[in-house]
Amino acid sequence: MKATSEEVQARVKKLFKDGSIAHFIGYETGSDGLRVTPCFLKSGQAASRLVWNPLCANNLSKYLLDFKNVEGKVGIIVKGCDSRSVVELLKENQIDRDKVFIMGVPCSGIVDREKLLEVLGVSPGEVVAVEDDGDAFLVTLKKGKKRVDKEKVLRGECLVCKYPTPVVYDVLLGEAVSSLPWVGDDYKVIKEQEALSSEEKALYWNKELSRCIRCYACRNVCPVCTCPECIFDKKAPHWLTKANDISENLFYHLVRAFHVAGKCVDCGECERACPMNIPLRSLNKKVEKDLLELFDYTAGIDVEQQPPLTTFKVGDLDESL
């Protein structure tokens, strides 16, 4: 059985009632039938606003940072990927496990809004609801229902997701999902890019990153970007100017990719937030692949596991020292 909005609502009401939580971070319906928006509750009264469906793309875990100094426990709903960024926040002591109540929901893939609209050939206003239906999404339109194969309309990160069920939680709603049938080689695209020559890589990334408008949405939405003051915002030393050119854009994105190395859990939020359609996941995915190959390390699985870039072993590769 999959978790439903009603189940989430009932559980949140109960959690408020028995005093387990003082706040809750969840999803509610947004501007149209294909959008959800983060929802912050202080009591169970408005819990009926909460929804859980295959449109709930936002990784809400970053908001936990805002509750660090707030009285009482905060509840949060997390998918598999979101829970992995919670693990990273815990590893870094960014949040206190005792102050967080984690409501896990196994996830069988999130809809890519733009892909769905294209496949259906409709405008967002015509969509009433989207439900999970096994290997397809069941889309309720104003005029009738349509089944759409998941593989055609899933978000990129969901197509390669190996952790559909949260890895950390206090309560799990719905049955655990052990694996997703469509997931194959999650580094296919990266391997193709690795095969390019340095010149071809430079050409590709210069083209993609020249579109960047440096709105910093990718950084701000990133659940593992937690510095209170980012180096890109610092005025002294002024590492990065606001000038928009390829040199500054490249510097920004490469430094960011290295800063989240070993912490990125491929939740896909950077790419989802980017208004300019820059394939940002590829940068992080490459670093993720290297970490796996060099250190047999995968981020966001185990709170006790130390990130390779913050630990030292005598047997470490010399070339990195």
Partner 1 sequence: MTSQTKSRIIEKGKLTKLLDKLAHDYHLIAPVRDNNVSFRRVESGSEVTLDYINTVLSPKNAFFPQTETLFRFSRDNNGGLGLEQDDEADREHVIFGIRPCDARSLRLMDMVFNGQYKDSYYLNRREKTTLIGLACFDPAETCFCPTFGIDPASGEDVDILFSDIGDRYLVEASTEKGAALLDRFAEFFDKLKGDEEQLRENKKAGLVGMKKLDVKAIADKMAPLYEGDYWDSIGMKCLGCGICTYLCPTCHCFDIADVSLDEGGERFRCWDSCMFPEFTLMASGENPRPNRKARVQQRFFHKLKYFPDRNGEVACVGCGRCIRYCPVNIDIAKIIEDVTSGKAGNE
Which residue ranges make up the site for partner 1 (CB under 8 A)?
Answer: 30-32, 35-38, 40, 58, 63, 66, 123-125, 211, 213-217, 219-221, 233, 235, 241-245, 269, 272-273, 275-277
Cα–Cα nearest to 165, from 181, 182, 178: 178
Please report how close the Cβ of residue 167 comes to partner 1 at its closest, in angstroms. Answer: 24
| CB-nearer residue toward partner 1: 158 or 167 | 158
Please report how close the Cβ of residue 208 comes to partner 1 at its closest, in angstroms. Answer: 8
Distance, in Å, from the CA atom of 48 to the CA atom of 112, rounded to the nearest integer, reads: 25
| CB-nearer residue toward partner 1: 35 or 289 | 35
Q: Within 10 A of 241 (CB to CB), how many other CB atoms are there?
A: 11
| CB-nearer residue toward partner 1: 196 or 215 | 215
Please report how close the Cβ of residue 1 comes to partner 1 at its closest, in angstroms. Answer: 29
Q: Which two tokens stand for residue 59?
A: 């990784």
| CB-nearer residue toward partner 1: 235 or 313 | 235
| CB-nearer residue toward partner 1: 41 or 173 | 41
Please report how close the Cβ of residue 82 comes to partner 1 at its closest, in angstroms. Answer: 14
| CB-nearer residue toward partner 1: 115 or 289 | 115
According to DSSP H, which parts of the chain are helical?
5-17, 80-91, 113-120, 150-153, 188-194, 198-210, 217-221, 246-259, 269-273, 280-295
| CB-nearer residue toward partner 1: 167 or 225 | 225
Cα–Cα nearest to 81, from 109, 52, 47, 48: 109
C-alpha distances in angstroms, 311 versus 295, 315, 316?
11, 12, 10
| CB-nearer residue toward partner 1: 3 or 36 | 36
Within 8 A by CB and 6+ apart from 104, the residues are 78, 79, 83, 165, 166, 168, 169, 170, 171, 172, 173
Distance, in Å, from the CA atom of 319 to the CA atom of 294, rounded to the nearest integer, reads: 12
Please report how close the Cβ of residue 32 comes to partner 1 at its closest, in angstroms. Answer: 6
Please report how close the Cβ of residue 6 comes to partner 1 at its closest, in angstroms. Answer: 22
Residue 26 CB-density burial (10 A; 0-12 exposed, 13-18 middle, 19+ buried): buried
Please report how close the Cβ of residue 315 comes to partner 1 at its closest, in angstroms. Answer: 41
SS3 77: strand
**Contact (Cβ atoms closer than 8 angstroms) between residue 127 and residue 34:** yes
Distance, in Å, from the CA atom of 57 to the CA atom of 268, rounded to the nearest integer, reads: 9
Q: Which two tokens stand for residue 227?
A: 């510095």
Please report how close the Cβ of residue 128 comes to partner 1 at its closest, in angstroms. Answer: 14
